[in-house]
């Protein structure tokens, strides 16, 4: 599969980049995508939620009234969950939501996501460039040149380029990552996938490790 390479100004370079069929042209596996996205979102959860149990409430442990003869329900101490200010029954406790996903399943999911983008013609290959300074207006001009101002974009660099990453981090609907950070969720969550020309080879190397 070949795709035209464009400059950061939006002009064509006259060259074409080759996208490997084993990465960008496989039979997509929706279940692998589901598992990888579920794993990614679970790994983002802090899991620091906490409510006080009965034994953590400050208060007297004395029985507040006699067991029988009051005409009301029997009750223990003031920390009883039925009372206002009492401990919570089966409340949330800190936990780790992350779960392991096999490397081959993750690779299949990422290949499937990239294939969907290729089929939708939502991939643009950009000739490598850099900004002289890290200014947001530089990134805005880039999006304008690529006719992607209103789209949710994901720019994939071959490696960390400080001026580009800092220029794009304050813009909404914009995400900049390196080839090593590419994941199923970010790919599918974008409208346009912008690939640096030199990032293609790195993505193929990473995703073909298990082949």
- 152 plus 71 within the same structural domain: no
3-state secondary structure of 137: helix
The string of pLDDT tens digits covering residues 131-157 is 999 999 999 999 999 999 999 999 999
- 39 plus 57 within the same structural domain: no
Which CATH number do you get for residue 196? 3.40.1370.10
d(CA 155, CA 44): 21
Among 29, 62, 96, the domain-final residue is 96
Phi, psi of 195 (to 5 degrees): -110, 130
Over its C-alpha atoms, the chain yields an Rg (Å, rounded) of 27
Going from the C-alpha of 98 to that of each of 102, 108, 187, the distances in angstroms are 13, 19, 20
Residue by residue, DSSP assigns 93-136 as ----------HHHHHHHHHHHHHHHHHTT-EEEE-----SS--H
3-state secondary structure of 81: coil
- 35 plus 119 within the same structural domain: yes
Each of the 211 residues of the chain gets a pLDDT tens digit; together they read: 899 999 999 899 999 999 999 999 999 999 999 999 999 999 999 999 999 999 999 989 899 999 999 999 999 999 999 899 999 999 999 999 999 999 999 999 999 999 999 999 999 999 999 999 999 999 999 999 999 999 999 999 999 999 999 999 999 999 999 999 999 999 999 999 999 999 999 999 999 875 4
- 76 plus 171 within the same structural domain: no
Range of the domain at 151: 2-45+97-207
Which residue intervals of the chain are DSSP H helices? 21-24, 30-44, 103-119, 136-145, 162-168, 184-188, 197-207
- 168 plus 102 within the same structural domain: yes
DSSP H or E run through 47:
none
pTM: 0.83
């Amino acid at each position: 599969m070949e795709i035209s390479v464009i400059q950061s100004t939006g002009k064509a370079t006259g060259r074409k980049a080759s996208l490997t069929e084993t990465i960008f042209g496989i039979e997509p596996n929706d279940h692998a995508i589901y598992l990888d996205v579920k794993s990614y979102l679970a790994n983002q959860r802090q899991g620091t939620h906490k409510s006080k149990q009965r034994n953590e409430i400050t208060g007297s442990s004395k029985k507040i009234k006699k067991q029988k003869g009051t005409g009301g329900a029997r009750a223990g101490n003031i920390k009883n969950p039925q009372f206002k200010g009492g401990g919570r029954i089966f409340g949330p406790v800190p936990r780790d939501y992350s779960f392991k996903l096999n490397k081959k399943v993750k690779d299949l999911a990422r290949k499937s996501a990239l294939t969907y983008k290729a089929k939708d013609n939502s991939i643009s290959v950009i000739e490598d460039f850099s900004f002289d300074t890290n200014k947001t207006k530089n990134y805005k001009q880039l999006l304008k040149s690529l006719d992607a101002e209103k789209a949710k974009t994901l720019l994939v660099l071959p490696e960390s380029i400080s001026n580009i990453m800092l220029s794009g981090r304050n813009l909404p609907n914009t995400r900049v990552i390196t080839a090593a950070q590419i994941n199923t969720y970010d790919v599918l969550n974008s409208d346009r996938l912008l690939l640096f020309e030199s990032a293609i080879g790195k993505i193929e190397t990473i995703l073909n490790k298990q082949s």
